[in-house]
């Protein structure tokens, strides 16, 4: 049987997570390209803001699209994001460049694609915005002064079907802290088996360990195992 690379497994995991999110949300839809997918056009259906060309009036828009490309260095490096529809947000430029705050400087490889999409939805509905380090100063000034709208403009969480009791939350819907702790505990158990326990030891892990361990460098360990070096 042909061994799958760590990148292949991560792309497959992200696609599964995004498919689960779609089943738990009336807000998100997507079109995927690649096998496994490494490019997505994600559609969010909900209330956000835009400013029509040639006007100073801010209006509500109810459909938004973002292109997400998972480049050759993903997940070591963050995805390439390009906003495709008009939007008026302090942290999204007029040309569609997205600022993810601290993630732009200190990207965390364990951040899965469904979690990234949750962040983007929170930006759309103005549950997440930073007026102090804006990519769009006009939008930052407007957000600072506006009193016409109650923010967030859309009250629904991304997993709105779960919140409404329409579907049962999947394991992927659990908190990041819970999943990270589980992976860390399992890693520690494997370390005991191999005689290692200190930071910097080489741990031989199976596929399920590779999903949610934070701040770790993954390299291909050959036919027998993958090697996870915890920094």
Residue count of the chain, please give it.
231
pLDDT at 172: 54
64, two tokens: 């938004």
Residue 217 CB burial class (10 angstroms; 0-12, 13-18, ≥19): exposed
pTM, 2 dp: 0.76
- Tokens linked to 83: 């906003």
CA distance linking residue 64 with residue 46, whole number of Å: 8
pLDDT of residue 167: 94
Which position has the higher pLDDT, 145 or 216? 145
Show the CA angle centred on residue 66, arms to residues 64 and 72, nearest 5°.
170
The CA-to-CA distance between both ends of the chain, in Å, stands at: 32
Higher-pLDDT residue of 31 and 181 is 31
Cβ neighbours of residue 129 closer than 8 Å, sequence gap 6 or more: 89, 90, 91, 123, 143
Q: Read off the pLDDT of each residue in 95-116 and give the average, rounded to a whole number.
A: 94
Structural domains of the chain, ranges and CATH numbers in brackets? 6-171 (3.10.110.10), 174-230 (no CATH)
Range list of H helices, the chain? 6-23, 102-105, 113-124, 137-145, 160-163, 176-194
In this prediction, residue 104 has a pLDDT band, given cuts at 50, 70 and 90, of: confident
Residue 210: predicted pLDDT: 38
Handedness of CA 202, 206, 212, 218 (dihedral sign): positive
pLDDT digits (tens, 9 = 90+) for 3-12: 889 999 999 9
Per-residue model confidence as pLDDT tens digits over 51-81: 999 899 999 999 999 999 999 999 999 999 9
DSSP 77-119: SPPEEEE-S---BTTB-TT--B--THHHHS--TT--HHHHHHH
- Strands 80-83, 226-230: pairing kind: unpaired
Among residues 172, 169, 168, which one has the least CA distance to residue 211? 172
Per-residue pLDDT of 83-103, as tens digits, reads 999 999 999 999 999 999 899
């Amino acid at each position: 049987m042909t061994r799958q690379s760590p990148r292949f497994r991560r792309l497959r995991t992200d696609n599964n997570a995004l498919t689960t999110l779609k089943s738990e949300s009336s807000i998100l839809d997507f079109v995927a390209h690649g096998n496994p997918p490494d490019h997505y056009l994600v559609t969010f259906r909900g209330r956000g803001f835009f400013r029509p060309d040639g006007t100073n009036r801010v209006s509500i828009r109810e459909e938004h699209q973002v292109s997400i490309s998972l480049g050759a260095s993903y997940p070591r490096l963050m995805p390439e994001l390009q906003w495709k529809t008009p939007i008026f947000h302090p942290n999204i430029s007029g040309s569609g460049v997205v600022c993810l705050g601290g993630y732009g400087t200190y990207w965390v490889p364990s951040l899965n694609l469904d979690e990234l999409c949750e962040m983007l939805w929170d930006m759309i509905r103005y549950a997440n915005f930073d007026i102090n380090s804006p990519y769009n100063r006009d939008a930052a000034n407007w957000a600072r002064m506006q009193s016409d709208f109650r923010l967030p403009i859309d009250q629904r969480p991304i997993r709105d079907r779960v919140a409404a009791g329409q579907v049962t939350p999947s394991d992927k819907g659990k908190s990041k802290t819970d999943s990270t702790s589980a992976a860390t505990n399992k890693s520690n158990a494997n370390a005991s088996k191999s005689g290692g326990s200190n930071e910097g030891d080489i741990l031989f892990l199976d596929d399920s360990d590779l999903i949610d361990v934070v701040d770790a460098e993954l390299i291909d360990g050959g036919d027998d195992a993958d090697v996870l070096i915890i920094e």
